[in-house]
Amino acid sequence: MVYLVQMDVHIPETWNEKKLVDYLARERECSQKWQSSGKWKYLWRVAGRYSNISVFQVESPEELHQIVSSLPLFPYMEIKVTSICKHPNALSEKVV
């Protein structure tokens, strides 16, 4: 199953610099682990916002939830998930 996921991050204004640096480092490590696994196929930043658009290829909605909820910043995200599939008019044979 392939999913398009938009993650908008809302960092609490009460966080100090040390806490922010810690969360960002753990977020980077976790997201790169999932990208290296091949399940997190693409990651793009949305220009001008603390937001990204990602493509995941996973076995189930439960697996997608497991991955996204493992991110340290998950509690501070607004997430929109869209299930996608290959369009019949697409030139490429690859789904992702």
pLDDT tens digit sequence for 67-82 = 999 999 999 999 999 9
Query: Is 2 buried (19+), middle (13-18) or exposed (0-12) by CB count in 10 A?
Result: middle
- Residues 10-61: pLDDT tens digits? 999 999 999 999 999 999 999 999 999 999 999 999 999 999 999 999 999 9
| pTM score, whole prediction | 0.89
What the chain holds in terms of domains, given with CATH numbers, is 2-84 (3.30.70.1060)
- Nearest Cα to 37, choosing from 8, 66, 7? 66
Identify the band that residue 93 occupies on the pLDDT scale cut at 50, 70 and 90: low
